Amino acid sequence: MLQQLRSFARPDRGNGNPIRSAWDRLHGLPGGRRVFSALVGRVAPYTGTIGAVIEALEVGYSRVGLADRRAVRNHLRSIHAVALANLAELTGNVALAYSLPDDARFIVAGMEIEYLKKARGQLTAECDCPVPADSERREYMVPVSIRDRSGIEVTRATLRSLVGPKPI
C-alpha cells in the first residue's frame, strides 16, 4: 500500500494509472470518496485548500462537490473566483487523469474561465472530457461546468491540457 501511495504522489513516474487505481479501490468504501479527495489534496496541496469532494469519476467524466463556507468566500459573501477556478481545475484534472492510458501524463497549459453569476450555496462541478487513446503528445480541451443547487450554471471553464508520454 505504501508503494501505491508513493505512485499516487508521483503520477508522472512508474507504471499504471495511480489515480484510477486509488479511486477504484476507495470510492466504494465508507468514507472512501472523502479519503480519495483528501489524498488528491495532499498530492496537490493548493487544490486541497478548498475542501472539495470528488463524488463521481469514470473514463471521460467527473463530478465534484464544493460546500459554501467562509473559507472559500469573498468579501461579497459569494464563493471566491479563485476557489471556482481551483474547483474547475480539480474537476477537469481528475476526469482527464482517470482517463489517461497507463503510459501517459498531463499538465494544464492554460485555462479560460467565465464567471456567469455569483456562486452561493452548495456547488457541483462536472466535466465530460475527451479520452486520449494513446500517450502521443497532444493538446486536449477539457470543459468544466459549475452549477449551483438549483442547477443554474455559475461558472464555465475550459482547461487546455497537454498530454504526453511518461518519462522512462
pLDDT digits (tens, 9 = 90+) for 33-58: 999 999 999 999 999 999 999 999 99
For the chain, the domain total comes to: 1
Question: Does residue 155 carry a pLDDT above 80?
Answer: yes
Strand 123-128 relative to strand 138-148, pairing: antiparallel
pLDDT digits (tens, 9 = 90+) for 73-130: 999 999 999 999 999 999 999 999 999 999 999 999 999 999 999 999 999 999 999 9
pTM over 0.85: yes
Strand 104-115 relative to strand 53-58, pairing: unpaired
For the chain, the maximum distance between any two Cα atoms, rounded to a whole number of angstroms, is 49
Note down the domain range covering 99: 2-165
Question: Does residue 72 carry a pLDDT above 70?
Answer: yes
> Which pLDDT value is given to residue 14?
57
* Residue for grid cell 443554474: 152
Confidence of residue 15 (pLDDT cuts 50, 70, 90): low
CATH number at residue 6: 3.10.129.10
Question: Does residue 150 carry a pLDDT above 70?
Answer: yes
